[in-house]
Amino acid sequence: MFQARRFQHCPTCGGLIDYRIPADDNRPRATCTVCGTIHYENPLNVVGTLPVWNDQVLLCRRAIEPRLGKWTLPAGFMELGETVAEGAARETDEEAGARFELHNLYCVMNVVRVGQVHLFYRATLLSPEFNPGPETLEAKLFHEHEVPWDELAFHTVRETLQRFFDDRRRGEGYPLHTADID
């Protein structure tokens, strides 16, 4: 089972951490050997959009690690103080500088291996012009046959794009997709 075990010291008092199974629990937790506080580690949400302009999709080429130089949908870690939709919109603004209208929550994908859930909203671009931020080398529109499938940054980006093109061909709308990704 995936375990983060990223604590060596207690964030509360600075004491040494030991990973122990608490009395009323069934898995090891970061437990302070000094003050006894238990610190939990849980999956994180990555939130983003699938932005569409007519029959093209927007991808961003990453200017940062991981996967520097690879293409991604605009997405990043959800922050405290925002909803999933607000986070998805913020990332689209930060990474692509795009103007868009947000639609429905389209993909919820578990990436258990890295302790993440990726959530993508569909979006319609209001303009084909972009103003990418420092995390993006280039923001560009792609027809389906132009998508750089071998140069995509993340499996969830590939899976989300594939479902979108399939749904578009089928012509019966864009229902929620849930999936588990290796």
Asked if residue 51 lies in contact with residue 74, where contact means CB atoms within 8 angstroms, the answer is yes
Q: Taking the CB of residue 52, how many other CB atoms lie within 10 A of it?
A: 18
Tell the smallest beta-carbon distance from residue 165 to its own copies (Å).
21
CA 42/CA 103 separation, integer angstroms: 28
Cα–Cα distance for residue pair 109/94, rounded to 1 Å: 22
Nearer to its own copies, 85 or 137 (CB): 85
Cβ proximity to its own copies: between 141 and 155 the closer is 155
- Write the CA distances from 45 to 104, 131, 158, integer angstroms: 17, 25, 18
Which region among 50-58, 75-83, 138-146, 160-168 touches its own copies (by CB under 8 A)?
75-83
79 touching its own copies, by CB under 8 A: yes
Residue 66, interface with its own copies (CB under 8 A)? no
Query: Residues interacting with its own copies, by CB under 8 A?
Result: 1-4, 6-17, 24, 27, 30, 39-45, 77-85, 104-105, 108, 110, 112, 115, 117, 119, 134, 175-176, 178, 180
